[in-house]
């Protein structure tokens, strides 16, 4: 056997010994993607599937691997089949250069009896954050029939006027123009204007992945 034959044979042996690359199963990331696509909070998924919220959070953050029984509960509760659940998560291209301009006063308006919301960057789909401005019409906590709550976290900045922020776990908090607050928005809350004119607030909401 020549040197060339020896090298070729050695190369074939190495090639046969190398296992093909198999992308690891990213079940936690896939579960989070499905949950967000269905616009569900961890609490809502827990109610539908019977899997504890803390367990769901650990799965999504790759802290634990779910048992087959848990996988079955997820499929039944979320109305999925196995291929849907095990499909690789969609990866949005990084640095895609997206942008969405909202000129002053041209946001998407959503008036309610207590607030007048103006959604910003409303044309951009699959955002990680939801920014909006709110004119706070409410003048008393009695104007609300129930707490406002939505899964995740919220940052708010008072742009004009003053508000009282009521929440189910804290005493009312006064915030004046320039003051800001970051809080868990699945905690019940409500904003009330206490200045002469209705207060104007900028809010940015994002889904949270806490246990």
pLDDT digits (tens, 9 = 90+) for 37-59: 888 899 999 999 999 998 998 88
Find the CATH number of the domain harbouring 121: 2.60.120.10
In a domain, 22, yes or no: no
d(CA 28, CA 86): 10
The band of 17, judged by pLDDT with boundaries at 50, 70 and 90, is very low
Are 34 and 86 within 8 A, CB to CB?
Answer: no
In a domain, 18, yes or no: no
In a shared domain, residues 118 and 55 = no
What would the pLDDT profile of 54-97 be if each residue is shown by its tens digit? 899 888 888 888 887 888 888 889 888 767 776 665 555 555 67
Q: The domain containing residue 35 runs over which residues? A: 27-86
pTM attached to this predicted model: 0.56
In a domain, 7, yes or no: no
Find the CATH number of the domain harbouring 82: 1.10.260.40
In a shared domain, residues 112 and 199 = yes
d(CA 32, CA 144): 32
d(CA 205, CA 189): 14
In a domain, 197, yes or no: yes
In a domain, 137, yes or no: yes
In a domain, 37, yes or no: yes
Are 168 and 184 within 8 A, CB to CB?
Answer: no
In a shared domain, residues 113 and 192 = yes
Count of domains observed in the chain: 2
In a shared domain, residues 126 and 52 = no
Q: Which two tokens stand for residue 192?
A: 């009330």
In a domain, 149, yes or no: yes
d(CA 165, CA 153): 15
Q: Is 165 helix (H, G, I), strand (E, B) or coil?
A: strand
Name beta bridge partners: 175.
163
In a shared domain, residues 119 and 157 = yes
d(CA 159, CA 147): 23
Query: How is 118-136 classified by DSSP, letter by letter?
Result: EESSTT--S-S-EEEEEEE
Q: How many CA atoms lie within 13 A of 208 on its CB side?
A: 19
């Amino acid at each position: 056997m020549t040197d060339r034959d020896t090298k070729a044979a050695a190369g074939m042996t190495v090639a046969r010994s190398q296992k093909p690359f198999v992308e690891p199963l990213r079940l936690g990331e896939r579960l989070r993607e499905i949950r967000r696509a269905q616009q569900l909070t961890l609490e809502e998924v827990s109610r539908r599937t019977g899997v504890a919220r803390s367990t769901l959070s650990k799965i999504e953050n790759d802290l634990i691997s779910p048992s087959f029984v848990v996988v079955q509960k997820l499929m039944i509760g979320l109305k999925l089949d196995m291929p849907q659940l095990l499909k690789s998560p969609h990866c949005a291209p990084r640095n895609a250069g997206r942008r969405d301009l909202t000129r002053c006063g041209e946001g998407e308006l959503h008036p309610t009896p207590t607030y007048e919301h103006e959604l910003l960057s409303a044309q951009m789909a699959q955002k990680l954050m939801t920014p909006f401005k709110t004119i706070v019409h409410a003048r008393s906590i009695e104007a609300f029939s129930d707490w406002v709550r939505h899964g995740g976290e919220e940052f708010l900045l008072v742009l004009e006027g003053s508000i009282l922020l009521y929440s189910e776990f804290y005493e009312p908090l006064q915030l004046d123009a320039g003051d800001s607050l970051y809080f868990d928005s699945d905690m019940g809350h409500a904003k009330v204007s206490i200045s002469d004119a209705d207060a104007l607030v900028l809010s940015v909401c994002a889904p949270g992945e806490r246990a």
